[in-house]
Chains A and B, each alone.
Chain A
């Protein structure tokens, strides 16, 4: 079995942990859909919670559609980067189920705090998928309204957003919006590497102490750029929660149903005033860290192949076929929609205009600054001095 597999016994020689029980030693992870597409009706998690989903056929098909669409749009963005249309792209390939599962578990009123890779969650929040491309193309800094969509800006500084989410969740409590079924919750996304950051650990402390209605959603995709999980931790990440005083659970992050079920339960608990929890979505980043990265330098092909066999879309498709929830016509139609949307995305990216240079002076301060106004005026005069002269 491959390194990085929760049930695996082989270990990388590089890490050489002292004990046999290392970062990936705990086999307990919540799963509702096996890699072969077999449905597990319900499971009692190691935390004692029962996890199950009860979807209509339509909803199952909807989840499949989400998975295919976000993968296709992500692939289009990667291609656009390769063609020089984006400066950089952080692909979600392989992490679709964790993102769509958790993203669909959110209610309209819940607030999400993403990293730079949460394109699937962004999609689930109803934000136009072109939005993050502006950031990576360099024409803006991410163009959506965080308050309107309840999805904050992407955060590049690793772990910083977990504190923002914690404060926001404290505000939910202070506003009296917990304890009822229509209450609110917040969710913070971060990676396995982020768990080493001080901010993430501070966020754990704060969320616990203030009983914040918050779900910490860690996508353990096994790598922080080139560094394997063993460089960040010697205990399974979800077990960290216990030390901070709230529950932690590991879910099969390639299983959209389990990701949904686990997130929904955690959000409900938060909403009801039971405080934070940590979800470790155990998954794998199939592509490069970003388009500027070369994963062949730090990981082996057999590992990637082993995870290929657990692909989140393939297993959902197998399930839909076995249960006769969807037919060939449906799959063709979804593929066609994905193709159309990605073509549309491409066209719109190419049409994205560069911003007017003088707009770099906008929005530095809500109340402006006389020094900046002066600088902007000087810059404008300078730019105008070129007019006509060059042509």
Chain B
């Protein structure tokens, strides 16, 4: 078994390479994705090996990246669009929500737009403004789009390939602060045997409190669980992986056992994923709950200056504090 230690970024790169190898219709397009390999080097070396017809450096125009990819998809291609940073997806927002998301529906199922929109998202890298946002709720709210995010190199490698192979248009959120974190990746396991793209996964079992997270916050929650275990509380951590559609089967089962749930994300809390999760868990597990579902999130401010982002971002202490509070009812 070819298991290698890779960073999350390199795992994505390897997954993209596999997709380009396996299907001649797969193309990558975006700003600086060619010679430079993307500003995070996720497409490093791909243009060199697959040519500038498959890995296309585009003009600096986000609506153009997505809009032309729609046309290419109608023509039979499978475009993977890279948006350089989360805060720059908004010029393409119309194309994503009004065109990409609705084409299949509007055409009565006659057209599919098998597109993957890769967006490095979230904070924690000390960047300037517009480089650290969490726009997932905008996309998860849009019917016709699917939204997924990975939290570790193995998932990054597999999920990016699954997303590319899917006929659904998928917003693929990459936790940029985790790009450099390493993990074991099984490069040979066939995609057909892989864990389903839209399924959540219990990444640490426990019986005290159910903690729901995704993307960059999964690791934070795992660290919190390690700390809580020292105090004798076993947190069950669930990596949602898919934000639309949400898979809450494991969460419901877990909350019915633990009676407590904490949702953690970097995005602001107002009308965010946490609200949806809390509502669903409350509806489904009402009689099992010992306390309200709590949220630990970024604040309802624009992403702040990076010197205070440590305070903005949910961290181990805030997660543990919420865990404590679930026992206060």
Contact = CB atoms under 8 A, between A and B. Distances in A.
B110 A160 contact: no
Given A366-B104, A366-B168, A166 B109 contact: no
A362 interface: yes
Contacts of B107: 141-142, 146, 153, 363
A198 B65 CA distance: 13
Given A163-B68, A168-B71, A371-B245, A202 B59 contact: yes
A202 B104 contact: no
A163 B58 CA distance: 13
Interface in A354-381: 362-367, 369-372
Nearest to B144: A364
Contact of B67 (A152, A202, A367): A202
Contact of A163 (B71, B112, B246): B71
A141 B107 CA distance: 7
Interface string A133-146: 00000001111011
B108 interface: yes
B143 interface: yes
B69 interface: yes
Contact of A166 (B27, B67, B91): B67
B245 A370 contact: yes
A202 B110 contact: no
Interface string A142-178: 1101110000110001001011111111111011000
B75 A202 contact: no
Contacts of A145: 110
B245 A369 contact: yes
A141 B106 contact: yes
Interface residues of B, number: 45
Interface stretch (A203-211, A232-240, A262-270): A203-211
B59 A209 contact: yes
Interface string B97-121: 0110001111111111010000000
A143 B108 contact: yes
B115 to A, nearest CB: 11
Counting chain A CB atoms within 10 Å of each CB, which of B74, B112, B146, B247 scores highest? B74
Contact of A364 (B70, B76, B104): B104
Interface in A203-251: 203, 205-206, 209
B23 interface: no
B94 interface: yes
Contacts of A370: 198, 245, 247
Nearest to A145: B110
Contact of B69 (A141, A146, A167, A209): A167
B53 interface: yes
A365 B77 contact: no
A264 B113 CA distance: 30
B74 A163 contact: no
B68 A366 contact: no
A371 B109 CA distance: 19
Contacts of B59: 202, 205-206, 209
A147 B71 contact: no
A349 B143 CA distance: 30
A174 B53 contact: yes
A164 B67 CA distance: 5
Contacts of B114: 366
A367 B167 contact: yes
Interface residues of A, number: 43
B168 A167 contact: no
A169 B67 contact: no
Nearest to A175: B75
A202 B71 contact: no
Nearest to A198: B63
B72 interface: yes
Contacts of B198: 370
Contacts of B104: 363-366
Contacts of B73: 167
Contacts of B66: 163
Contact of A202 (B61, B109, B246): B61
A388 B231 CA distance: 61
A199 interface: yes
B94 A157 contact: yes
A167 B106 contact: no
B112 A366 contact: yes
Nearest to A164: B71
A147 B110 contact: yes
A198 B108 CA distance: 28
B201 to A, nearest CB: 16
Nearest to A212: B68
Contact of A169 (B71, B77, B94): B71
Task: Please name the 9 residue pairs, one residue from A and one from B, whose CB atoms are nearest each other, closest first.
Answer: A167-B71, A163-B67, A171-B75, A167-B68, A168-B71, A202-B64, A366-B167, A363-B109, A164-B71
Given A164-B70, A168-B72, A367-B168, 9 more contacts: A147-B111, A160-B67, A171-B72, A174-B72, A198-B63, A199-B67, A206-B58, A365-B146, A366-B168
20 contacts: A141-B107, A142-B107, A145-B110, A146-B110, A157-B98, A163-B63, A167-B67, A167-B69, A174-B72, A174-B77, A209-B59, A362-B109, A363-B105, A363-B107, A363-B109, A364-B143, A365-B144, A366-B166, A371-B246, A372-B143
